[in-house]
Structure 1
Amino acid sequence: MAASRDSNTQSFAPLKNDLILRAARGERTERVPVWIMRQAGRYLPEYWEAKGDTAFFDTCKNPQLVCELTVQPLRRFNLDAAIIFSDILVIPIAMGLTVANNPGEGPVYADPVTCPEDLRRLTADFDIVDKLGYVYEAITLTRKELDGKVPLFGFTGAPWTLMKFMIENVTAGPNPNKARKFLVQHPEASRQLLGMIKDVIVRHLVHQIKAGAQIVQVFDSLAGELGPILFSKFELPILRQIAKEVKDSLRGMNLEPVPMVVFAKDAHYAIEDLSKSGYEVVGLDWCTEPLHARKLAGSVTLQGNLDPVMMYASKDEIKSAVKEMLRKFGTQHYIANLGHGMLKDMNPENVGVFVDAVHTYSEDMNASS
């Protein structure tokens, strides 16, 4: 039975499978652990059965439903972690923006940020339990439902990615320069907004961990658009602050920090910097060459990075791709995942092939090493 190293104020069952936590901390694992971004969601028929016609953000605010959606993939697949069903966009809502539509159905916010004066409409100093307590309640409920089977991920969007959504309403259509234009035309207002978002993120992650999250991931899904200059100037310092402040806050509460993952999609130029930014794990998208990433990242644990499109391939092709991925990454200091998330029309059976292949091939590689 795995030793408990929880940083929360709840009482939970002992953890039976701590592979991901050990891999994140750089400890030796007998096989490669695996989970999948968006593993809970639209590709599963049971998701639609459970959700019904409940609106997306209303779903996120229903702890019992969130718990059900979070554990559904664990009933099908031999995954090594669960990730709480939620959304990165709950933070801008809590800060004061008004929802216009569900994600994917046009503009998300009715009142996006358009100028520096709009920051006056936002606040980072709100009662976070009042605004986001449904997330923490769902985490505690899900942790109890998991009964120690696997660790539970909490997560958040990163400051730049959230800022871009707050300015551009990304799902309304591509407009990649609007938020970047804001950065260069209003650098001080941009730093103010990023700082406000950062303060909320830190509190949000700390509360998730207190509620029962055993590992957390920061999704910088739109990081690649910044490029190396703007990323280093605006986002990298904020990402470092998040890692430090979360851990300092937990230590200040006499709680042990949990492993933290940073996933900066398309920010291949920043792998070396991210590996030194205070996170235990650096997530990689599918456009990153594993051997190159290993050279840049040193001893930091890497996560990724099978091309998600392989979930449309044949079962034999999936197995072959997994074998090649493991050959390049190796079986230690590594967490297997896709290079981004599952899509709604992907075949659930192929997820099982992917997960089982990671376990089988990595166990064989360890046995022969």
Structure 2
Amino acid sequence: MTSGSFAGMAASSPATGSVTAVPRAAARSQGSATQLPAEHPLVSGLTADSPLLTQYRGGRNTAGEITRPHRRPVWFMRQAGRSLPEYRALREGTTMLDSCLDPKLASEITLQPVRRHDVDAAIFFSDIVIPLRLAGIDVEIQPGVGPVLGTPVRTRADVEALPTLDDAAFAPITEAIGRIVAELGSTPLIGFAGAPFTLAAYMVEGRPSRDHLGPRTMMHADPETWKALASWAAEVSGRFMRAQLMAGASAAQLFDSWAGSLGREDYARHVQAHSAAAFSHVTGLDGTTPEGHRVTAPLIHFGTGTGEILDLMKEAGADVVGVDYRLNLAEATRRVGPETPLQGNIDPALLRADWPVLEAHVREVIAAGSGAAGHVLNLGHGVPPETDPEVLTRVVSLIHEIGNED
């Protein structure tokens, strides 16, 4: 893979910040097609039977046959980021959100960990609040703080004043993905979006929060306003995922950073339906391979601290459930059923432990995940910035070797 041929839209392109006033019904125009394009890597067969997709499919190939991949698949959340010196060099002088919306930068950053670590998937370099920025909302990532909104959304009037996200705003996203999949070949790209609760939580609080008291209060004190806000967030999140899949991503992950702050009843009553609404934008997207096999893009649902609601997250529309480091994968399988593929869940804290400790932990995670229909190794959250990249590369090599040992 080379990046020398990359050229493209600058981060200051009008598409990254434009807002077009269109009726909300018209905003779903992107969702009218249910067929993936013929040149899509899944439909062409390029990624369809990759180790990653086989495991996401429950250990089956596109023909529906139980199969064993040639190696055990692994990728890491936040594998593209501050742990890589090449990332830090590339990002110098550029804000986080601007780098996400520059197709040349976003594509190169997405590809960096695939080249370095030999992981089995790329994860699209983006941020949870990118759909907000694309809709024209004043939001920035403040170093050391996180997403900060110019104006929080706390009343029904605030919700009704929210802009409509125009399909044209996805131009830098689709261009970046086109660049990425052209370089990846048979390695799948995973799309990414924040779940409605997490998006709405940032919007209500206006910045990161430890206990998310604002959105939790709104659910009960003003449930109609909460429903309207979460519905808006579900639409922009779902359409953001859809744009990535239609452009060439082979799977998509809905990431709920803060759902673990909710009790099970609150999640079921006030959140689950909105996550399902986000998934509804990408459920059923399919195509037919040259061999005549129907293929769909697997959908992953991941959250932190969500062990008590894993079954509800699955029921929201996920094919694969991501599990954080707090819950043993054997117990996760008991909660969601052995037919559900799992993703996870190496503890990021152990990346700085002595190698024998880390190796033993990786082997334990693999053993714990063996009862699931499919298992993709990952971390039980993202790569910490201080991680030694060589450790990640060594973990990937170990996982691939263990796959060959079995």
Query: Do the aligned partners of 2:242 and 2:281 also contact (CA within 8 Å) in 1?
Result: no
Normalising by structure 1, we get a TM-score of: 0.89
From the superposition, tell whether residues 217 and 342 of structure 1 become closer, same or farther in structure 2 (CA, over 3 Å).
same
Q: 1:3 aligns to what? A: none
Q: Where does 1:134-153 land on structure 2 (aligned, <5 Å)? A: 134-148=172-186, 150-153=187-190
- Residue by residue, what CA displacement relative to the aligned partner does 1:73-117 show, whole Å, maximum 9, x if unpaired? 111112000011111111122334202443634662111112222
Q: 1:272: how far off?
A: 2.2
Task: Confirm whether residue 118 of structure 1 aligns to residue 149 of structure 2.
Answer: no
Task: Confirm whether residue 159 of structure 1 aligns to residue 202 of structure 2.
Answer: no
Give the helix-richer structure, 1 or 2. 1
Query: Do the aligned partners of 1:154 and 1:205 also contact (CA within 8 Å) in 2?
Result: yes
Q: Distance in 2 between matches of 1:165 and 1:186?
A: 17
Q: 1:186: how far off?
A: 1.1
Q: Find the partner of 1:237 among 262, 273, 276.
A: 273
| Secondary structure in 2 matching 1:108 | strand
Q: 1:226: how far off?
A: 1.2
From the superposition, tell whether residues 19 and 164 of structure 1 become closer, same or farther in structure 2 (CA, over 3 Å).
same
Q: Distance in 2 between matches of 1:136 and 1:318?
A: 38
- Residue by residue, what CA displacement relative to the aligned partner does 1:113-159 show, whole Å, maximum 9, x if unpaired? 12222112213x3312x3232111111111101123x1001110000
Q: 1:132 aligns to what? A: 170
Q: 1:270: how far off?
A: 1.4
Q: Which amino acid aligns with 2:267?
A: F
Q: Distance in 2 between matches of 1:97 and 1:275?
A: 30
Q: 1:58: how far off?
A: 1.0
Q: Which amino acid aligns with 2:51?
A: L
Q: 2:395 aligns to what? A: 354
Q: Tell me the percent identity.
A: 32
Query: Do the aligned partners of 1:167 and 1:178 also contact (CA within 8 Å) in 2?
Result: yes
Q: Which amino acid aligns with 1:41?
A: G
Q: Distance in 2 between matches of 1:138 and 1:246?
A: 19
From the superposition, tell whether residues 100 and 209 of structure 1 become closer, same or farther in structure 2 (CA, over 3 Å).
closer
Number of residues of Structure 1 aligned to a counterpart in Structure 2: 355
Q: Find the partner of 1:7 among 25, 36, 39.
A: 36
Query: Do the aligned partners of 1:283 and 1:303 also contact (CA within 8 Å) in 2?
Result: yes
| Secondary structure in 2 matching 1:174 | coil
Q: Distance in 2 between matches of 1:82 and 1:100?
A: 25
Q: Distance in 2 between matches of 1:137 and 1:358?
A: 33
Q: Where does 1:53-92 land on structure 2 (aligned, <5 Å)? A: 53-92=93-132
From the superposition, tell whether residues 203 and 176 of structure 1 become closer, same or farther in structure 2 (CA, over 3 Å).
closer
Query: Do the aligned partners of 2:153 and 2:206 also contact (CA within 8 Å) in 1?
Result: no
Q: Distance in 2 between matches of 1:238 and 1:295?
A: 25
Query: Do the aligned partners of 1:168 and 1:175 also contact (CA within 8 Å) in 2?
Result: no
Q: 1:14: how far off?
A: 5.7
| Bigger shift: residues 272-281 or 17-26 | 272-281
Query: Do the aligned partners of 1:303 and 1:334 also contact (CA within 8 Å) in 2?
Result: yes
Q: 1:303 aligns to what? A: 343
Q: Find the partner of 1:261 among 272, 294, 300.
A: 300
From the superposition, tell whether residues 287 and 181 of structure 1 become closer, same or farther in structure 2 (CA, over 3 Å).
same
Q: Distance in 1 between matches of 2:144 and 2:246?
A: 31
Query: Do the aligned partners of 2:152 and 2:206 also contact (CA within 8 Å) in 1?
Result: yes
Q: Find the partner of 1:247 among 283, 299, 303.
A: 283
| Secondary structure in 2 matching 1:317 | helix
